[in-house]
């Protein structure tokens, strides 16, 4: 073969290989450019969507803020309108002291009665032995009754629960109960003081029994002093609400002169 022709063939084959390599590189570069372009488009789309969401969220927040401010303004205006004409009602509270049935002093006396009766009952329960147990049991019954029923009466009179019971004569009930329980406490304390083993617990229980009796007695005296005896009849004509009554109206007769 002629050497010149061989060189031309080799040069042609080499040029073909170079052209094929260039085509492959061009195809790869075009694919990379398409991929980058698609990524850019997806990123731009995501940014647009996020910005749109932020814009919508900002609009919603601004609308909600405006609505809340409007509601606050209306509430403030209504409160200014009704503040001068409305006043808090103290009767809506659960605790009704002082009231018509129980003032502060009587509330304190009844609270002391509950406490002293409870202490006397607890001390009596701590006594482990007795010679004659009947006085002990009687004192236990009276002190427990005084504690439970006085606490119940205190809860009823100091709250609005007494209105749901259906009893209208609360002053009479209070007076009778307080006087009766004070008498029972006196009798049970005297009997227990004369018939015990002489232990320190029994003596202290007796002391608290007498203290409870004195507080119950003070409650009765305070009731009579402030409200009077609840079972009294109607006051005499000369007395009205603790003071002199108004004079009775006199029927005056007038003579009419005959006119000519």
Q: Picking from 9-23, 80-94, 156-170, 220-234, which range would have the lowest pLDDT averaged per residue?
A: 80-94
Domain boundaries, the chain: 1-80, 96-230
| Residue 188, burial from CB neighbour count under 10 angstroms (0-12, 13-18, 19+) | buried
pLDDT on residue 248: 44
pLDDT on residue 184: 95
> In this model, does residue 250 exceed pLDDT 50?
no
> In this model, does residue 212 exceed pLDDT 90?
yes
Question: Once rounded to an integer, what is the mean pLDDT over residues 139-147?
Answer: 94
Q: How confident is residue 251, by pLDDT bands cut at 50, 70 and 90?
A: very low
Question: Once rounded to an integer, what is the mean pLDDT over residues 19-24?
Answer: 75
pTM: 0.54
- Model confidence over 63-107: pLDDT tens digits? 667 667 766 776 766 666 555 444 444 445 566 777 777 888 888
**Do residues 138 and 190 lie in contact, with contact meaning Cβ atoms separated by under 8 Å?**
no
pLDDT on residue 99: 77
């Amino acid at each position: 073969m002629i050497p010149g022709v061989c060189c031309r063939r080799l040069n042609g084959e080499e040029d073909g290989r170079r052209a094929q390599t260039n085509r492959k590189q061009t195809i790869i570069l075009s694919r990379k450019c398409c991929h980058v372009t698609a990524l850019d488009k997806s990123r731009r789309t995501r940014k647009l969507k996020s910005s749109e969401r932020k814009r919508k969220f900002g609009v919603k927040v601004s609308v909600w803020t405006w609505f809340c401010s409007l509601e606050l303004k209306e509430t403030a205006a209504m409160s200014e309108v009704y503040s001068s004409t409305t006043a808090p009602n103290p009767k809506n509270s659960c605790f009704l002291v002082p009231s018509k049935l129980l003032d502060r002093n009587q509330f304190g006396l009844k609270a002391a009665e509950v406490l002293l009766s409870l202490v006397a009952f607890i001390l009596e329960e701590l006594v482990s032995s007795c010679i004659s147990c009947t006085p002990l049991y009687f004192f236990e019954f009276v002190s427990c009754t005084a504690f439970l029923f006085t606490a119940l009466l205190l809860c009823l009179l100091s709250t609005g629960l007494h209105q749901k019971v259906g009893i209208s004569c609360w002053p009479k009930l209070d007076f009778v109960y307080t006087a009766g329980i004070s008498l029972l406490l006196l009798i049970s304390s005297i009997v227990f003081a004369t018939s015990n083993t002489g232990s320190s617990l029994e003596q202290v229980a007796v002391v608290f029994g007498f203290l409870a009796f004195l507080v119950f007695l003070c409650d009765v005296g305070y009731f009579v002093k402030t409200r009077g005896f609840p079972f009294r009849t109607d006051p005499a004509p000369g007395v009205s609400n603790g003071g002199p009554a108004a004079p009775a109206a006199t029927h005056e007769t007038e003579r009419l002169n005959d006119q000519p």
